[in-house]
Structure 1
Amino acid sequence: MLVEIRGAGDIATGIALRLRRAGCKVVMCDIAVPTSIRRTVCFSEAIRLGSCEVEGVCARLAGSCAEARSIVVGGEVAVLVDPEGESISELKPQVVVDAILAKKNLGTKRSMAPYVIGVGPGFYAGRDCDAVVETNRGHFLGQVIWDGPAAPNTGIPGVIAGHSADRVLRAPADGVFEPVLQICDVVRAGQVAATVSGVPMTCTINGVLRGLLQEGVEVTAGMKSGDIDPRCERSHCFSSSDKARAVGGGVLEAICMLTSRLEG
């Protein structure tokens, strides 16, 4: 089964890992300059580096749909620069998953593939997709919704070791993002993690720098640009989060149920 995922950030990558391990062929689409924060667990890094590996699974940048087909046949995940999802009509996947996590639908339609799954707020199961997978942390994280929308976006980051919004680093100004530190660095509150137009972006709490935008990204003041893990476990920088795994499991469940209905 060929699955095309719109988006290649950390949640989309968690989905891709689940699907690839379950035997699906996976193609992912993203923008030319991704704004992923947790880059060490994002297949979007293949756009910048040409290839990358997350938890033993390799992703490779494809320059065309034909190259993407070749990559997935070889057992790897293919990544295309295709923000509009134009490759869907040529690749004709059995499943399209919208995991852009834009908090709204950026153009995904139920007619794009035999099965279409939306991830998080902005999708309505039974209207613009066949199923929606809940991304809101809590009791229903990863739940498959067959009729209706996901829970609205709260705007509040998940709590990790007692920290929520204070563990997120935000751009201090408009301009070009210039990292000073690297993902996996142990940091202390007040330490400069990056600069934007000469303005320092300082660490908010002690911990491990789990995410940081890539160099050269154009940012706006207040844009999410980094993430600190107060648990101070460097190994967490290189594995998918519990949220990504739960959402990935929900997408896999939805695909299994949709295909079993057809077979039945």
Structure 2
Amino acid sequence: MPRSADAGKGLTAIVLGTNEIASAVGVFLHRVGFGVVLSQDDDHPVLRRKMAFHDALFGDTVKLDEVRAERADNGMQIFNALRHFRLVQVTWLGLPDLMPVGTIDVLIDARLQAQYRRPDLRGLARTSIGLGPGFVAGGNCDAAIEVLGARCAIDPASIVSALHAGRWHAHREIGAPVHRGEIIGDLSGDPQRAACDGVLRGLVRDGREVAAGITLLEIDRRGRHAQWTGIDDHSRAVAKAVLRALKLPAATKRRPKSARFPA
């Protein structure tokens, strides 16, 4: 791979996942010139939606670290968008639907889910990278990057998971201060309460059908140091590791301030 500031110019990267780490990777690849497409993993809802491009799938205006994303609904829309490289594309289309769009220069599996079998990515793109446990360089991908924890080291004491399947309805918004025992939403009418004091960092999108065991909400317990928007240090480190694996320099860009809990 070339090392110039426009090292990825004219190249296409497909990132599997729309979570906060997949989105951070998308931002960094976009900055070095790649045309980037994020493909949603519909089996697991995204929690940290204000730190990700996920909500663009629903037509929301989403900007992360000054990079905008838009929804793409079909292969032709993606093909045309990749000719301009202005925005990150976010789509419900899976990898089999994206492969006919054109040559995939870089394929990155950033789904980071513990309960699925890791696919063999080799041969599906010129370079394939697997993030998290289960990926082995030369085994099922060209490069493997370790990621702390299956889901970004989420504090188990700060989450609430679904005890049964149902439809989730959120009563609060990400970024809201909450108190232990406060009702945050309901699962098919069953109230779901905050497990601790803090700030809502993650919340399944309202109206989503979820399976038993799915995490519904996450609370950041750090008070005024809580973060619920922007790219956090962990996601930034993973994104930089991806560029290193591709032998690309990180583009220099001013880091915008993330939302913080008011003092």
Q: Do these two structures clear the TM 0.5 threshold for a shared fold by scoring above it?
A: yes
1:90 alignment counterpart? 101
Aligned equivalents of 1:176 and 1:239: distance in 2? 28
**Alpha-carbon distance change, 84 to 71 in structure 1, aligned in 2, over 3 angstroms:** closer
Residue of 112, 119, 138 corresponding to 1:107: 119
Distance 1:236 1:212 in 2: 14
Identical aligned residues as a percent: 27
The equivalent of 1:67 in structure 2 is 77
TM-score (norm 1): 0.82
1:108 Cα offset (Å) = 4.4
Per mean C-alpha deviation after superposition, the further-off stretch among 9-18 and 19-28 is 19-28
Instruction: Note the C-alpha offset of 1:167.
Output: 0.8
Structure 1, unaligned runs of 5 or more:
138-152, 258-264
1:22 to 7, 13, 32: 32
Equivalence for 2:50: 40
Paired residue secondary structure (1:110): coil
In 1, the alpha carbon distance for the partners of 2:125 and 2:183 equals: 46
Per-residue CA deviations over 1:110-130 (Å, capped at 9, x if unaligned) read: 010110000111211101110
SS of aligned partner of 1:190:
coil
The alignment partner of 2:192 has SS state of strand
- Return the structure number with greater helix share: 1
2:217 corresponds, among 219, 226, 246, to 226
Tell me if the contact between 2:183 and 2:194 (Cα under 8 Å) persists in the aligned partners: yes
Change (3 A) 1:41 1:181: same
Distance 2:211 2:103 in 1: 36
User: Residues 77 and 219 (structure 1 numbering): CA distance in 2 closer, same or farther, change over 3 Å?
Assistant: same
How do 1:180-219 and structure 2 match up within 5 A? Answer: 180-219=171-210
Q: Which residue of 1 aligns with 2:230?
A: 239
The alignment's TM-score, normalised by the length of structure 2, stands at 0.82
1:62: how far off?
0.9
CA distance in 1, matches of 2:118, 2:136: 13
Does 2:13 correspond to 1:3?
Answer: yes
Instruction: Give the C-alpha shift of residue 84 in structure 1.
Output: 4.2
Shift of 1:23: 2.2
| CA positional deviation for 1:66 | 2.5
Superposed CA offset, 1:165-207 (max 9, x none)? 1011212432000101110100011101110021111111111
8 A Cα contact 2:44 2:214, kept in partner: no
Matched, 1:76 2:76: no
Residue 170 (structure 1) aligned with residue 165 (structure 2): no
The runs of 5 or more residues in structure 2 that have no matched partner are 1-10, 249-263
